[in-house]
Amino acid sequence: MSKPSAFDPRLDIVFERFVDAPPRLVWEALTQPEHVKEWYMPKAWGRVARCEMDLRPGGVFGIDIAVGDGREVPNLGCFLDVVPMERLVWTSMLFPGYRPAVFDDVPITAIMTLEPQGAGTRYVFTALHRNEADVAANKESGWKEGTDIALDQLVEHVASIK
């Protein structure tokens, strides 16, 4: 995959964390369903009911969430780029096999990068949006807050498997 376009503060939300562990462990936590289930959903808000990942371009990125009232919310997307220990790119705009997606949520394309930094890893998650209205909707819905919480849980989880 070619380099993504430059960051646009009107359309993109960036989250960054330092993880006190090597990229190999962060990669495991990002890509192995048994680990994703431990950190992806803010624990006070619900849990991951199902996680499926086929780490190849066109492969499934599926994480179903069970929310507080017990309702399950499916999240299905498609990997666009996979560079082990360096970068994952997926989108909710496409279903597996690059099939056009149909859903009632705010679509994003996510770019996750890992960069060795000393004995740890600099992790950056960039969420690309179609337009400013989608950015506002994600901020208002609690998605941004939930992602911040989930990434704090990711850091804690990686420390626990270290």
Determine the pLDDT at residue 2: 52
Q: Give the model confidence (pLDDT) of 102-139 as tens digits.
A: 877 889 999 999 999 999 999 999 999 999 999 999 99
pLDDT at 1 over 80: no
More confident residue, 74 or 7: 74
pLDDT digits (tens, 9 = 90+) for 59-95: 999 999 998 888 898 999 999 999 999 999 999 999 9
Residue 65: name the closest of 81, 79, 45, 85 by CA: 45
DSSP state of 98: G
pLDDT class of 5 with cuts at 50, 70, 90: low
Question: Which stretches does DSSP call E strand in 28-159?
Answer: 46-53, 60-67, 72-73, 76-83, 87-91, 94-95, 99-100, 109-117, 120-128
> Which range (3-12, 49-58, 85-94, 101-110) has the least confidence?
3-12
State residue 103's pLDDT score: 76
Residue at token pair 């949006």? 129
The CATH number assigned to the domain with range 15-161 reads: 3.30.530.20
Q: How confident is the model at residue 4 (pLDDT cuts 50, 70, 90)?
A: low
State how far Cα 18 lies from the chain centre. 16
**Which of the four pLDDT bands, split at 50, 70 and 90, describes residue 31?**
very high
| pLDDT, averaged across the chain | 93
Domain boundaries, the chain: 15-161
